[in-house]
């Protein structure tokens, strides 16, 4: 990042914005130049450090208009998901720290209450914004506050049921402004030339000036003024409805404005001021261009939705997500009952090949994880083999559906759980650290944890032949060659199970071991590094790598012959939460056997925490699961 002098020279307008009040003071004619500088700043910074680019480039003018019309933090600004809040961060005093975005101890990639008073509500998941905004608006009503609540959501959020549940509860007499940012799919009826002309008319200065003057004049006529106003308003609504149909939002009793060009700051600002002056719940419909101002992002906005840091070099081969998608598509050629389901994450979960090769059996249900799971249960109950590909952090949203609709009926639904474990760059909202605990308590469900592509293949083959529900969880990223070499060598696994590596021992017998680390997932690399340090202290340590967690009694039976008969230390290591996790469940299953009577046990996991990095250090160290912490635990056990 440039220093302040260079920043002032390269971004003379942006460098003057340290608060929303500074933005309000910018003359209207200088706003386009400021917007251009912000786009240049975003492209440079995000391409260098990584982050969400296309979505933020599309909402520059909208974000500026919001902060010019409303007064944060007194007025509440809530972003759905929040990955499009970068401009909001820039104009609310966080420009100097922007180079730390998504870095350890730096700015979050999403709104975060503890980061700034201007972030009134944290986000990271979709379709939650309007429910939260409604809560803010109702709280202001109850307290007698005249503050406004502004809710910014993309059209994709409307595929999530929570938005509609919240809309159903929106009352007219609230100071609630709902901004719909349409940038991909149409959510409004195609209403033809008349409606387009009306939209242009309604976004002009003259329209609102004339409308307000007419309203004021009619209401001042003694005795009959209000009656005339109501009559004319009803006539207008009737004519409009007859010409191009009713409006969904107006049918709900909400004042609707738009659609207008959301990349026209002046037009957006006019609509926001009209909505503010109406002192009622309003919907403002904007159409923006994703990736605007950066040609590569304009041409392929999906590729620039999430950008990796410039220094990142992807390993050779396919990621776990891509490998899962390739395997599933190949299996679907052999089994016509296999279907794939995604909740608006076809690319992220590796299902693009399946979508291309088996379009009739591919289902994108939108941002609706609950529906995805119960929909899969219906497919399974009627003879098909559905696979739900979903990020761990989003699977949380469908917990009840997994229990009630899938497991209770013992239906053969397969959950391919992506981004399992800690995910440092996206932070706490995207850590996949809860699924092991909540899946472990569900009857009839098997849980697999492959950490190599070969093991992933075996897990998928077994899951798709199972008569009940199965979950296969794997991390974001690629196979670790060092792990593959240590636990597999050149051998191809014959089945899914427990892989042993008795590092630094004279033979393959466990009787030479002083300690055993039982681990699953990519954190096995920290275990391997710890073993190297323990060797220097003359402590012989072995590692048991789990490819399956549940059923725990079955896994325990596989572990028993791999443990020393003598007294030794056993550490259960996982990057997920401790309560209800692998360590607690498996140690309990093993404790039923006599061999454990002379063993000293410790569980290392992400303790009662969301794994929030507050220091500039690796996430493993933040949560106390790095190699040094493992060594200290074993030595002090």
Whether residue 286 contacts residue 264, with contact meaning beta carbons closer than 8 Å, is answered with no
Q: Determine the Cα–Cα distance for residues 11 and 593; give it in Å rounded to an integer.
A: 68
pLDDT given for residue 201 in this prediction = 40
Average pLDDT over every residue of 9-31: 94
**Rounded Cα gap, residues 99 and 107, in angstroms:** 8
Helix, strand and coil in the chain, % to nearest 5: 45, 15, 40
Backbone angles phi, psi at 386, to 5 degrees: -80, 140
* Residue 369 among the catalytic residues: yes
Residues 6+ apart with CB under 8 A from 566: 511, 598
Structural contact between residues 136 and 142, judged by C-beta atoms closer than 8 angstroms: no
pLDDT given at position 214: 58
Q: How far is CA 81 from the centre of its chain?
A: 7
CATH of domain 320-473: 3.40.50.970
Q: Is 397 a catalytic residue?
A: yes
Highest mean pLDDT, choosing among 223-237, 294-308, 360-374: 360-374
Tell me what pLDDT residue 198 has: 36
Domain 498-635 has CATH 3.40.50.920: yes
d(CA 188, CA 551): 48
- The least confident of 38-47, 81-90, 156-165 is 156-165
Sort strands 498-501 and 541-546 into parallel, antiparallel or unpaired.
antiparallel
Q: Which residue is catalytic, options 68, 102, 355, 397?
A: 397
What is the rounded CA–CA span in Å between residue 52 and residue 46? 7
pLDDT higher than threshold 80 for residue 188: no
Residues linked to residue 446 through DSSP beta bridges, in sequence order: 470
pLDDT at 492 over 80: no
Whether 45 and 101 have beta carbons less than 8 Å apart is answered as yes
Q: Could you tell me the strand order of the sheet in which 76-79 lies?
A: 76-79, 149-154, 176-182, 282-287, 255-261
* Mutual angle of helices 60-69 and 265-278, in 10-degree steps: 40
597 has pLDDT over 90 = yes
Q: Who has greater pLDDT, 249 or 194? A: 249
Which of the two residues, 402 and 2, has the higher pLDDT score? 402
Residue found by looking up tokens 């440092």 in the block: 424
Percent of the chain with pLDDT over 90: 68
Looking at the predicted structure, is the pLDDT value of residue 234 above 80? no
476 within 8 A of 419, measured Cβ to Cβ: yes
Are residues 176 and 137 in contact, defined by beta-carbon separation less than 8 angstroms? yes
What is the average per-residue pLDDT within 527-541?
92
For residue 76, pLDDT over 50 is answered with yes
pLDDT, averaged across the chain: 87
- Residue spans per domain, the chain: 4-188+247-306, 320-473, 498-635
Cβ proximity of 89 and 107 under 8 Å: yes
What CA–CA distance (Å, rounded) separates 535 from 627? 13
191 to each of 188, 196, 198, 258, 289, how far by Cα in Å? 8, 8, 10, 12, 21
Contact between residue 362 and residue 340 where contact means Cβ atoms under 8 Å apart: yes
Q: Which of 620, 81, 622 is nearest to 344 (CA)?
A: 81
- Between these two residues, 369 and 487, which has the higher pLDDT value? 369
Q: What is the mean pLDDT of residues 22-30?
A: 97
Average pLDDT over residues 323-327: 97
Report pLDDT for 187: 32
* DSSP characters over 253-302: T-EEEEEEETT-HHHHHHHHHHHHHHTS-EEEEEE--TTTT-HHHHH-TT
Of 61, 369, 547, 576, which one is the catalytic site residue?
A: 369
Pairing of strands 338-342, 414-418: unpaired
Q: Is 498-635 in the same CATH topology as 4-188+247-306?
A: yes
The structure's pTM equals: 0.85
For position 489, what pLDDT does the model report? 74
CA-CA distance, 487 to 501, in Å (whole number)? Answer: 6
472 forms bridges with which residues in the sheet?
A: 416, 448
The closest alpha carbon to 79, from 135, 134, 122, 115, belongs to 122
Phi-psi region of 313 (alpha: psi -120 to 50; beta: other; left: phi over 0): beta
Quick one: average pLDDT of 85-98? Answer: 95
- Selected catalytic residue, list 68, 102, 175, 290: 290
> 3-class DSSP state for residue 96?
coil
Q: Is 113 a catalytic residue?
A: no
Task: Name residues whose C-beta falls within 8 Å of residue 32's C-beta, 6 or more positions apart in sequence.
Answer: 265
How far is it, in rounded angstroms, from Cα 350 to Cα 323? Answer: 7
pLDDT for 522 equals: 93
Q: Which CATH class for the 4-188+247-306 domain?
A: alpha beta
Do residues 527 and 546 touch, judged by C-beta distance below 8 A? no
The sign of the CA dihedral 383, 384, 385, 390 is: negative
Respond yes or no on whether the N-terminal peptide bond of residue 606 is cis (omega within 30° of 0): no
Select from 449, 504, 498 the least CA-distant residue to 472: 449
**Region 382-391 average pLDDT:** 98
């Amino acid at each position: 990042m440039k220093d302040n002098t260079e920043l002032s020279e390269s971004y003379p307008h942006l460098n003057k914005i340290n608060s929303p009040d500074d933005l309000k003071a910018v003359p209207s004619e200088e706003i386009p130049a400021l917007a251009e500088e912000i786009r240049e700043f975003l492209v440079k910074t995000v391409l260098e450090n990584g982050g969400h680019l296309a979505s933020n480039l599309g909402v520059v003018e909208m974000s500026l208009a919001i902060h010019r019309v409303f007064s944060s933090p007194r007025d509440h600004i809530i972003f759905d998901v929040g990955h499009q809040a970068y401009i909001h961060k820039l104009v609310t005093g966080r420009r100097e720290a922007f180079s730390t975005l998504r870095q350890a101890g730096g700015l979050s990639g999403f709104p975060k209450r503890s980061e700034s008073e201007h972030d009134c509500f944290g986000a990271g998941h979709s379709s939650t914004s309007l429910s939260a905004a409604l809560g803010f608006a109702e709280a202001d009503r109850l307290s007698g506050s005249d503050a406004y609540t502004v809710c910014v959501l993309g059209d994709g959020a409307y595929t999530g049921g929570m938005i509609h549940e919240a809309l159903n509860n929106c009352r007219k007499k609230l100071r609630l402004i709902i901004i719909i940012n349409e940038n991909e799919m149409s959510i409004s009826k195609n209403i033809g030339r008349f409606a387009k002309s009306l939209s242009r008319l309604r976004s002009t200065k003259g329209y609102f000036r004339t409308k307000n003057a007419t309203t004021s004049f009619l209401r001042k006529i003694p005795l009959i003024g209000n009656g005339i106003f109501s009559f004319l308003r009803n006539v207008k609504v009737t004519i409009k409805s007859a010409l191009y149909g009713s409006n969904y939002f107006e049918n709900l009793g909400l004042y609707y404005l738009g659609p207008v060009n959301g990349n026209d700051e002046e037009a957006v600002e006019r609509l926001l001021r009209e909505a503010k002056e109406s002192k009622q719940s309003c919907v403002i419909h904007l159409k923006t261009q994703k990736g605007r101002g950066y040609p590569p992002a304009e041409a392929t906005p999906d590729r620039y939705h999430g950008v990796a840091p410039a220094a990142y070099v992807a390993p050779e081969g396919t990621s776990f997500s891509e490998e899962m998608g390739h395997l599933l598509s190949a299996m679907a050629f052999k089994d016509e009952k296999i279907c794939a389901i995604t909740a608006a994450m076809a690319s992220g979960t590796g299902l693009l090949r399946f979508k291309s090769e088996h379009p009739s059996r591919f289902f994108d249900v939108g941002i609706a994880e609950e529906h995805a799971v119960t929909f899969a249960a219906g497919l399974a109950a009627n003879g098909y083999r559905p696979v739900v590909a979903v990020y761990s952090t989003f699977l949380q949203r469908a917990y009840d559906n997994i229990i009630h609709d899938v497991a209770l009926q013992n239906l053969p639904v397969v959950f391919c759980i992506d981004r399992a474990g800690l995910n440092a760059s996206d932070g706490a909202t995207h850590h996949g650290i809860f699924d092991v605990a909540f899946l472990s308590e569900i009857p009839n469900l098997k849980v697999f944890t492959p950490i190599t592509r070969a093991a992933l293949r075996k897990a998928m083959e077994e899951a798709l032949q199972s008569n009940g529900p199965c979950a296969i969880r794997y991390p974001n990223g690629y196979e670790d060659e060092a792990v593959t070499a240590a636990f597999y060598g050149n051998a191809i696994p014959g089945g899914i199970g427990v892989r042993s590596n008795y590092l630094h021992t004279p033979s393959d017998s466990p009787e030479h071991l002083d300690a055993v680390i039982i681990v699953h997932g990519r954190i096995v690399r920290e275990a391997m590094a710890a073993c190297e340090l323990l060797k220097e202290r003359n402590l012989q340590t072995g590692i048991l790598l789990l490819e399956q967690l549940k059923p725990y009694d079955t896994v325990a039976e596989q572990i028993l012959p791999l443990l020393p008969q003598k007294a030794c230390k056993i550490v259960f290591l996982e990057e997920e939460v401790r309560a209800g996790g692998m360590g607690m469940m498996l140690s309990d299953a093993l404790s039923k056997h006599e061999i454990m009577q002379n063993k000293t046990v410790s569980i290392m996991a992400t303790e009662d925490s969301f794994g929030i990095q507050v220091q500039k250090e690796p996430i493993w160290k933040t949560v106390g699961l790095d190699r040094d912490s493992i060594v200290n635990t074993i030595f002090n056990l």
